[in-house]
């Protein structure tokens, strides 16, 4: 599979992804029973995960998005830029940040600081994918669909040079 100028190989099928998504949803449904959730999705990569996850959420919830950017090409730039801010009131709410993938954790750290200013009642993170070997943060996400190796991946919302987001499976870069 070619995306832009690189070759990729199949890594997770659409079915495997859906299993991981359902597992995350069912944990959230249990933990937030009788509560109200505000999901804050981190664009762009999260759009497919957010849309699939939310279909399995049975608790009352709101859904909103923010846009930040840390990646350039295939590695983290070390800087997180806010591109679209928050439009929903979070004070006193149970907030769950939705991420497609947590890599170094830098984006999360920045989001955590941003969210704290809005004084939510609680704050957790749900991510489809987590790279434990790349993670440099303090607290790993509470809800993780799947832990993966420290390899660059595309598909299911994730891009390489903005391409490949449309793929329904997830692909790993060939080295």
Active site residues: 103
Taking the C-alpha atoms of residue 124 and residue 35, their distance in angstroms, rounded to an integer, is: 14
Taking the C-alpha atoms of residue 41 and residue 106, their distance in angstroms, rounded to an integer, is: 16
3-state DSSP assignment of residue 95: strand
Taking the C-alpha atoms of residue 31 and residue 125, their distance in angstroms, rounded to an integer, is: 13
Q: Which is nearer to Mg ion, 28 or 97 (CB)?
A: 97
Q: Which is nearer to ligand XMP, 52 or 99 (CB)?
A: 99
Residues 84-113 contacting Mg ion, CB under 5 A: 100
Q: Which is nearer to Mg ion, 45 or 120 (CB)?
A: 45
Sheet containing 143-147: order of strands = 75-84, 61-72, 37-43, 94-102, 122-130, 143-147
Return all residues near 168 (Cβ < 8 A) that are at least 6 apart. Answer: 14, 155, 156
Which residues sit at the interface with ligand XMP, rule CB under 6 A?
42, 45, 70-71, 76, 99-107, 152-154, 158-159
Q: Taking CB positions, which residue lies at the least distance from Mg ion?
A: 45
3-state DSSP assignment of residue 32: coil
Instruction: Candidates 20, 25, 45, 143: give the one binding Mg ion (CB under 5 A).
Output: 45
76 binds, options ligand XMP, Mg ion, none, Cβ within 5 to 8 A by partner type: ligand XMP
24 binds, options Mg ion, ligand XMP, none, Cβ within 5 to 8 A by partner type: none
52 binds, options Mg ion, ligand XMP, none, Cβ within 5 to 8 A by partner type: none
Query: Which residues would be at the binding site for Mg ion (CB under 5 A)?
Result: 42, 45, 100
């Amino acid at each position: 599979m070619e995306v832009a100028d690189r070759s990729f190989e199949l890594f997770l099928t659409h079915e495997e992804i859906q299993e991981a998504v359902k597992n995350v949803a069912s944990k959230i449904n249990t933990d937030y029973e009788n509560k109200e959730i505000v999901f804050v999705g981190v664009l762009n990569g999260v759009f497919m995960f957010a849309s699939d996850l939310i279909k399995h959420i049975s608790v009352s919830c709101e859904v909103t998005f923010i846009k930040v950017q840390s990646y350039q090409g295939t590695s983290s730039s070390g800087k997180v830029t806010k591109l679209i801010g928050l439009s929903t009131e979070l004070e006193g709410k149970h907030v769950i940040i939705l991420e497609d993938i947590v890599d170094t954790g830098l984006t999360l750290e920045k989001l955590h600081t941003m969210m704290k200013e809005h004084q939510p009642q609680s704050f957790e993170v749900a991510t489809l994918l987590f790279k434990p070997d790349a993670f440099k943060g303090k607290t790993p996400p509470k809800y993780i669909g799947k832990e993966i190796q420290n390899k660059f991946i595309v598909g299911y919302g994730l891009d390489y040079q903005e391409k490949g987001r449309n793929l329904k499976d997830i692909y790993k870069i060939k080295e």
